[in-house]
Structure 1
Amino acid sequence: MTATQADSRPSAEHPGFLDAVRGQPVAVWATAFAAVIAFMGIGLVDPILPEIAKQLDAGADKVTLLFAVYMGVQVLAMLITGFCSYRFGPKRTLIAGLVFIVVAAGVSATANGIGELIALRVAWGLGNALFMATALAFIIGSARGGQHGAILLYEAALGLGLAVGPLIGAILGEWTWRAPFGGTAILMAIGAILCATKLTKDGPSSERPKVGITDPLRALKNRKLLVTGIGSAFYTAGFFTVIAWAPIVLDMRPIYLGLVFVGWGLCVALSGVTLAPKVVEALGEKLGVIAAVGVFAVVMIAAAIGTAGDNKTLVMAAIIFSGIPSGVLNTALTGMAMAAGSGPRSVSSAGYNFLRWMGAAVSALLVAHLAEWFGSNAAPYWFAAGYCAVAVLAISMVGGAPKPAPTAETERRLGEAALVGAEEL
């Protein structure tokens, strides 16, 4: 979120990926490597969720808490990441986040109960929030080739992490559910050492923009930002229904679940940086978001029908395909929020994500209970479609032109939005 505050020299040209990666300083590679591992944590748990439930004798309501608490702590973290970066410095904040992840992931590999694993997931979520709040700023501030080259590097880290995370979880999970946690801890420890030794030292606090703990909440006094955040919260509730509930519904071996979520992760990453700008250019941000939410709702209905009919092929197809509208929405909704904010962009983004992740946390908390209350594993997907209806209603209330003419500023904002939307995952 602090990326927009970083000093960067925009390039007049848009370099290709090979041009972007050529000759980058070690600090950029160290941060990018750590970012890949952090993004891996998003889908790492999915392939091993059924195995965790069996080995630790935990019900669906307990294992889905692994996602609920992970996102819940990030709701609160949105209020402190900017303050921590100001008070302690971005490098110290980033390193602290990595240490939290290393310890949480490492100890998770030795957990003997689901309660212990849930508590460790809280620490993991806090670490992820602290790291992601500053990682992009370091890459943009240090990368050669201007901001666009830095964006390409970060996009590569995002795509690799989203795709590799479920794959690592699947491969190591075939051995034991503990192995993916241990492997992540080792890789992130390497990333932490690289970042600690290669990143530039923090400057004096007087040179950093002052951010208070309550500033993100005050930013929500902006009605457009508030309504956009509410709409995003309901869509994100559907998004995390996919992440938290699909492993329970499919109940497959880790390797097969991993392959499903590899496909999902690739769809999210690629559509966010390639399809989203085209949708916004054709329809405008507001109509583009409404259309994408509609597509996502249809996919959730398909998942519900497949679950009710015990058609796992349809459910798997729905999960993978849901990544396409999700990638568009992660970018376009964040673009709307960034355009709506009237204060510092990092503060507006924190306020927006405070609402956004609240939807994710509540959804992950409810999915298992919805299935129990309604006596059907399809119920969470029907509710996800309902969340989308509320999201459409909220977004339709956002003021502004329905289809603004594309400008260089719009393209730049969408490029940043793709990253901000992704980094907050």
Structure 2
Amino acid sequence: MSSELGGSPAQVSLLFTSYMAVMGLAMVVTGWISSRIGARTTLLIGLSLIALAAVGSSASWALGQIIGFRAGWGLGNALFVATALAAIVATMPGHHSRAITCYEAAVGAGIATGPLLGGILGQISWRAAFLGSASLVALSFVVLAVVLPRTPGASEPTAITAPFRALAHRGLFSVAAVSLLYHLGLFALFSYGPFVLGFSPVRTGFIFSGWGVCLVFASVVAAPRLRVSVGAVPTVAAALVLFATTLTIVAVFTDHRAVVTTCIVVSGLFVGLLNALVTEIGMQVSTVDGATAAASYSFVRFGGGACAPWLAGWLGEVTNPHVPFAAAAGATALGLGALAFGRRSLSELPRRGAPGPRPQDRQAPAEGGSIAPAAGPSTIRG
């Protein structure tokens, strides 16, 4: 796309920025919407918006048009992701951890195969990659319409200000800040890494598929075991250090493709641990329902992290290719400070074993949420 449409790395990175900025902002209203029209309708609307945006992107002839469609894509993804997370948990009351493991496995499978499929289609044309996305999302729409039963709106709809009020909790705010900071590093790596490598779409797809395989292993296999043996908070701290170190190595050896490639793939292990455990901690420490808590930290994570792709491209243009990765490493390392900020609230969490049920999990339905677990331990994906 950069070659055919004449965009610089910073300009092309706006495809990430517009998508994530709108998604982050829209996360605030997902609970407000789903609690009024039901989860099933919200999910179908979200998939419809994604499919339309993908088709529109494939038919565009200017980078600015695609950036606009990507913003619409972010809106649809916000409606789908936040609601799907709560819907999957609600379908398995009393088996919270198992539900999230299923979710992690599904997301991981998509992350592992999506880049490769996108690379293969992108080798034909970047338009084919967008059309492939539209086709997969249309298939998802059909499956969801057939399988998922209709769900009514909540008896007590969620207030639109609920996600903001939830962030007043020190522990949840700390978790949101940690998530934001390591996603700044991740988004910079994802958006600027391909420009540094300069590989073909297919080869780039293989690399990020390798990253996805590592992510699946860490989130589905390693994270639950480390949570039991070491504890969620210490594992998150160690993963932040390791991810920041990996980004630092990329910053130092930016000119060495083999090193950058290896670091991108290996970083999937650390991001997988963070994805699986950061939000689990947030859901345990939070005093609000799961959907509201998810909307709160997602707003901070994606809304704030939206600047990373553009900033990485801009820094690479005005300085040198090493600087974006150094900045990403610094942002990730700051996550340790954010984790320490909430240490008083987080110290009350169980260090080992499965987390116990929160007070609101014993209520059915949960107050103010369109879909919330009725009982069982609270773990959810970051």
TM-score normalized with structure 1 length: 0.80
How far apart are residue 396 of structure 1 and its match? 1.6
Amino acid in structure 2 at the alignment position of 1:56: L
Answering whether residue 367 of structure 2 is matched by residue 406 of structure 1, we say no
What residue in structure 1 maps to residue 160 of structure 2?
Answer: 213
What residue in structure 2 maps to residue 365 of structure 1?
Answer: 310
The alignment of Structure 1 onto Structure 2 pairs a total of residues equal to: 364
Q: 2:186 aligns with which of 228, 234, 239?
A: 239
Q: Is the 8 A contact 2:43 2:79 kept in 1?
A: yes
Amino acid in structure 2 at the alignment position of 1:99: S
Amino acid in structure 1 at the alignment position of 2:246: V
Q: 1:297 aligns with which of 244, 251, 259?
A: 244
User: How large is the RMSD of aligned CA atoms in angstroms?
Assistant: 2.4
What residue in structure 1 maps to residue 200 of structure 2?
Answer: 253
- Distance in 2, matches of 1:410 and 1:325, equals 25
Change (3 A) 1:199 1:89: same
Residues 100-159 of structure 1: per-residue CA shift (max 9 Å, x gap):
011011111111011011101111111111112222444445579965664454333212
Partner SS state of residue 124, structure 2: coil
Q: Is the 8 A contact 1:284 1:402 kept in 2?
A: no
Change (3 A) 1:54 1:280: same
Gaps spanning 5+ residues in structure 2: where? 362-375
- Distance in 2, matches of 1:108 and 1:401, equals 47
Matches within 5 A, 1:13-412: 52-142=1-91, 150-203=99-152, 205=153, 207-307=154-254, 310-373=255-318, 375-398=319-342, 399=344, 400-401=346-347, 404-409=350-355
Q: Is the 8 A contact 2:100 2:381 kept in 1?
A: no
Change (3 A) 1:402 1:133: closer
Gaps spanning 5+ residues in structure 1: where? 1-51
- Distance in 1, matches of 2:377 and 2:16, equals 28
- Distance in 2, matches of 1:175 and 1:296, equals 34
Give identity over the alignment, percent.
36
Residues 227-261 of structure 1: per-residue CA shift (max 9 Å, x gap):
22122211110111111111111111001000000
How far apart are residue 402 of structure 1 and its match? 8.7
Q: Is the 8 A contact 1:91 1:199 kept in 2?
A: yes
Q: Is the 8 A contact 1:77 1:129 kept in 2?
A: yes
Q: Is the 8 A contact 2:25 2:303 kept in 1?
A: no
Q: Is the 8 A contact 1:277 1:411 kept in 2?
A: no
Amino acid in structure 1 at the alignment position of 2:159: G
Change (3 A) 1:95 1:248: same
How far apart are residue 176 of structure 1 and its match? 0.9
- Distance in 2, matches of 1:415 and 1:317, equals 36
How far apart are residue 345 of structure 1 and its match? 2.2
Change (3 A) 1:303 1:110: same
- Distance in 2, matches of 1:302 and 1:415, equals 38
Partner SS state of residue 151, structure 2: coil
Q: Is the 8 A contact 1:140 1:150 kept in 2?
A: yes
